[in-house]
Amino acid sequence: MNNMSKKLFLTSLLVVSAGVIVAMFFYGRSTWSPVYQKIIGKQTMEDVVATYGEPARSRLMPFFKVAGVSYPPTNITLLAIKDIAKLEIWTESPVGIKHIRTYPIKALSGTSGPKLIEGDRQVPEGIYEIEGLNPNSSYHLSMKLNYPNAFDRQQATSENRANPGTNIFIHGKTVSIGCLAMGDSAIEELFILAADVGKSNISVAIAPSDPRIKSLPTNAFPQWVSILYQRLTGYFSKYKPYES
What is the 3 state secondary structure string of 12-42?
A: HHHHHHHHHHHHHHHHCHHHHHHHHHHHHCC
Question: What pLDDT sits at residue 19?
Answer: 46
Question: What is the arithmetic mean of pLDDT over 194-222?
Answer: 96
Residue 15 in this model has a pLDDT that exceeds 70: no
Say if 122 falls within a structural domain: yes
Residue 120 in this model has a pLDDT that exceeds 60: yes
CB neighbourhood size of 73 (10 A): 20
Domain that holds residue 226: 43-210+220-236
Residue 114 in this model has a pLDDT that exceeds 80: yes
Residue 31 in this model has a pLDDT that exceeds 90: no
Say if 110 falls within a structural domain: yes
3-state secondary structure 213-243: CCCCCCCCCCHHHHHHHHHHHHHHCCCCCCC
pTM: 0.84
- Least confident interval from 2-16, 46-60, 207-221: 2-16
Residue 8 in this model has a pLDDT that exceeds 70: no
Say if 37 falls within a structural domain: no
Query: Residue 127 maps to which CATH number?
Result: 2.40.440.10
Higher pLDDT, 154 or 11: 154
Confidence of residue 25 (pLDDT cuts 50, 70, 90): very low
Q: Which helix (H) or strand (E) holds 61?
A: helix 45-67
Question: What is the arithmetic mean of pLDDT over 122-141?
Answer: 98
Say if 152 falls within a structural domain: yes
For the chain, percent of residues with pLDDT exceeding 70: 82
Please tell me the total count of domains within the chain: 1
Residue 196 in this model has a pLDDT that exceeds 70: yes
Say if 20 falls within a structural domain: no
Higher pLDDT, 40 or 147: 147
Say if 26 falls within a structural domain: no
Say if 38 falls within a structural domain: no
Question: What pLDDT sits at residue 14?
Answer: 60
Confidence of residue 220 (pLDDT cuts 50, 70, 90): confident
Residue 138 in this model has a pLDDT that exceeds 80: yes
Asked whether the beta carbons of 129 and 145 are under 8 A apart, the reply is: yes
Question: Any idea how long the chain is?
Answer: 244
What are the tens digits of pLDDT across the range 79-111?
Answer: 999 999 999 999 999 989 999 999 999 999 999
Say if 35 falls within a structural domain: no
What are the tens digits of pLDDT across the range 55-72?
Answer: 999 999 999 999 999 999
Higher pLDDT, 3 or 217: 217
